[in-house]
Structure 1
Amino acid sequence: MKMRCASFFAGVGGIDIAFEQAGFEIVYANELDKFAVETFKANHKTFIDHRSITDVQAKDIPDFDIMLAGFPCQAFSVAGYRKGFEDKGRGDLYFELERIFIEKKPKVIFLENVKNLVSHDHGRTFEIIKKSLMDNGYHIKHQVLNASEYGNIPQNRERIYVVCFQDEQAMKKFQFPEKIELTATLQNMLEDENTIDEKYFYTEKTPFFDKLVEEIKDAKTLYQWRRQYVRANKSNLCPTLTANMGTGGHNVPLLNVQGKKNTIRKLTPRECFNFQGYPKDFILPNISNASLYKQAGNSVVVPVIKRIAEQIKKVL
């Protein structure tokens, strides 16, 4: 009998895929964004509740053992101007989770967020979250893990993972995974150049094209345009992918493909999902690239979460 998970702020279902790969069953998912729902439906059999979590009553949700939530992080990240719980409608969505777990009493709660959650508002935000969990009988472990060190994914992506158990003994037995060697390279994540559409390539018509040509030299490094200058990511890693890749322009990492006339291009949406460790057969539906880039940037690194899910399974 597989343990049952309910997924909140499910996005395109990255956390769900990781837990399924580790042998859990997803019995319910909730996501408001209609484009993310479309991608979720293309890849999951699970019913997805497309309402705002504020409208979801605990009685609407089938019983489950594990709550999964990559709750909205804009309110807690530098990108969201550090508003935290004052950011009505985003920061306070954590309390919708609290309302549900108080009633449903899952054995385990798994939360994922930006690493700034720990330091936000001088640590007060995270203290409030921890207190809410402990007051409701949960025992907590948390750690910041980088995808490049724990997921064999060449992306510099640090996230905080919070694992909460009702059973104190289970919490004491639970260990976050150990670091693993990074053997995957940028090249492993890139598509065959011959299949890449011209629309991903930059031309002389691109503003500051000359500056890009001057700075962006090879395909073994990923670069970012930083409004005034080009930044190279030296460590053979992809820079942290962000939701604002979907806002167009040069927010998507760039590289220089040798041997073509216009050689500078941006990563494709598929490559961005590769850099999040999604399976090769993950379907990208026929929606705008802007939506797909945003979904990839908002998503999670699947192999890191799979390894945490395996550790949870071990102690249960």
Structure 2
Amino acid sequence: MNLKYSVGSLFAGVGGIDLGFQNSIFEGDSYNLVWANEIDEYAVETYRYNFPHQVFHGDIEKIVRPARAENEEERKQYLQMQEEMLHQKIDILVGGFPCQVFSIAGYRRGFDDERGNLFWSIVELIKLLDERHGKPSVLLLENVKNLKSHDKGRTYRVIKDQLELLGYTVKEKVINTKDITRLPQNRERIFIVAFLNPNVANCFKFFDEIERYKVIKNEEQRRENIRRVLDLHLSKMDSEKYYYTREKYPLYFLNEEEFLKLDENMRKDQRVNIDEQIDEEYQFYQVRRGMYVRKNKTGVCPTLTANMGTGGHNVPLIKVADGVRKLTPAETFKIQGFPIGFGYRLPTQYKGREFSDGRLYKQAGNAVSVDVAAILAKEILKALHTSVKAEVKEKVVIHS
């Protein structure tokens, strides 16, 4: 008999983990996405554009603790959300919980930061689910790789201890998207997988055998992987806003004479000339802090970030046939594994206004790589399937 495991998704964003689970199957076993939760209304819009199941738009802290609502009307709304979220048994709980608090670029305050407390909302939800139907059998959590080393390892120790107190066997691994998939992105993230049944945990071998899953690419394969995610049919005529030109960015096209003529207050330590320094196709570049051009040394896209195009790290740049341009929002989604044009769509309007590129860049940067999530989802199915088969075999032996 084929099994279908129900999935609830926290901090769902635009559904990177969810899409990976939705697309996974092993020996006829698969997943059924039941609900998702996300606080950002623009991410919710993109999610609803692409998934048919229920999305709870709201703060998970208030869903699990409605008393934190700002007024009685809001409290009732969150109580209703909680009731609907707890209505059905959840076999698998997934979530890429907010990572800013744990990142090197952050304030390094860990659980002292309010955003760090969101982990406790996961714990609280598991307890609420337990009261209704029992705890989820499996958890999959994602975060930045620095979670493991934050505060000399104490932050992660707290997380692992709490999950173990709930009865889970916890495994974790830092995985780079470029290492185990064809997606051309250097993206290291820690994945935490926790199993309620220790027998299933023992059957989950992926982290121990991850070297077997490494994808080796030669130069032609590297280029082909990049071709798959770039829209090279675009031109300056139809996508002018993404192109870098001397008219729009005069300080990024300085020759030596122009650079030396600049007032010292305007002159950077290094001369930037995009035409000269961004000179290879199928490579990814960034103008770092407006100070210098850097080519990604790994030959793939640097880690996409949530602050692309919002005053932080620039959106990566590429050389194309008719100039230099930044990646389009659709391309950043495709680099994360979203099948744009093949079943996954990006919204163009929201509440009567144009859906901004900035919102889409943020969503892509916050997402979990779909292909990595799909591999993990399949390996979890494999562990569950192997454990069930072993239990059936053991029962047959006992009865015989």
TM-score scaled by length of structure 1: 0.95
Counterpart among 169, 183, 189 of residue 229 in structure 2: 189
SS of aligned partner of 1:97: helix
The answer to whether the 8 Å contact 1:120/1:126 transfers is yes
What does residue 294 of structure 1 align with?
Answer: 362
- Consecutive aligned runs of 4 or more in structure 1 exceeding 6 Å deviation: none
Residues 1:65 and 1:152: Cα distance change in structure 2 (over 3 Å): same
Q: Following the alignment from structure 1 to structure 2, what is the Cα–Cα distance between the partners of residues 246 and 298?
A: 13
Question: Where do residues 117-128 of structure 1 align in structure 2 (5 Å cutoff)?
Answer: 117-128=147-158
Q: Given the alignment of the two structures, is residue 132 of structure 1 paired with residue 162 of structure 2, yes or no?
A: yes
Identical aligned pairs, as a percentage?
Answer: 46
SS of aligned partner of 1:164: strand
What does residue 54 of structure 2 align with?
Answer: 47
Counterpart among 335, 338, 362 of residue 275 in structure 1: 335
Counterpart among 131, 136, 140 of residue 110 in structure 1: 140
* Structure 2: stretches of 5+ with no match in the other structure: 25-29, 65-81, 130-134, 254-271, 349-354, 385-400
Residues 1:53 and 1:47: Cα distance change in structure 2 (over 3 Å): same
Q: Given the alignment of the two structures, is residue 199 of structure 1 paired with residue 255 of structure 2, yes or no?
A: no
Q: Given the alignment of the two structures, is residue 215 of structure 1 paired with residue 255 of structure 2, yes or no?
A: no
What does residue 39 of structure 2 align with?
Answer: 32
Structure 1 residues 202-211 or 221-230, which shifts more?
Answer: 202-211
Q: Given the alignment of the two structures, is residue 56 of structure 1 paired with residue 66 of structure 2, yes or no?
A: no
Q: Following the alignment from structure 1 to structure 2, what is the Cα–Cα distance between the partners of residues 10 and 314?
A: 24
Letter in 1 for 2:186: N
What does residue 10 of structure 1 align with?
Answer: 12
RMSD: 1.5
Q: Given the alignment of the two structures, is residue 244 of structure 1 paired with residue 268 of structure 2, yes or no?
A: no
The answer to whether the 8 Å contact 1:174/1:311 transfers is yes
The answer to whether the 8 Å contact 1:152/1:181 transfers is no
Counterpart among 212, 221, 235 of residue 298 in structure 2: 235
SS of aligned partner of 1:64: coil
The answer to whether the 8 Å contact 1:151/1:301 transfers is no
* Structure 1: stretches of 5+ with no match in the other structure: none
What does residue 266 of structure 1 align with?
Answer: 326
Structure 1 residues 187-196 or 237-246, which shifts more?
Answer: 187-196
Residues 1:64 and 1:43: Cα distance change in structure 2 (over 3 Å): same
Deviations 1:207-258 (A, max 9, x none): 5221222311122211011121111013221100000104057610001223
TM-score scaled by length of structure 2: 0.75
Residues 1:8 and 1:249: Cα distance change in structure 2 (over 3 Å): closer
Counterpart among 58, 75, 96 of residue 70 in structure 1: 96
Q: Following the alignment from structure 1 to structure 2, what is the Cα–Cα distance between the partners of residues 298 and 270?
A: 14
The answer to whether the 8 Å contact 1:186/1:236 transfers is no
Q: Following the alignment from structure 1 to structure 2, what is the Cα–Cα distance between the partners of residues 237 and 194?
A: 20
The answer to whether the 8 Å contact 2:186/2:298 transfers is no
Larger Rg: 2
Q: Following the alignment from structure 1 to structure 2, what is the Cα–Cα distance between the partners of residues 254 and 153?
A: 17
Deviations 1:86-143 (A, max 9, x none): 111x111000000011232100010011100000111110000000000110001111
Q: Given the alignment of the two structures, is residue 97 of structure 1 paired with residue 140 of structure 2, yes or no?
A: no
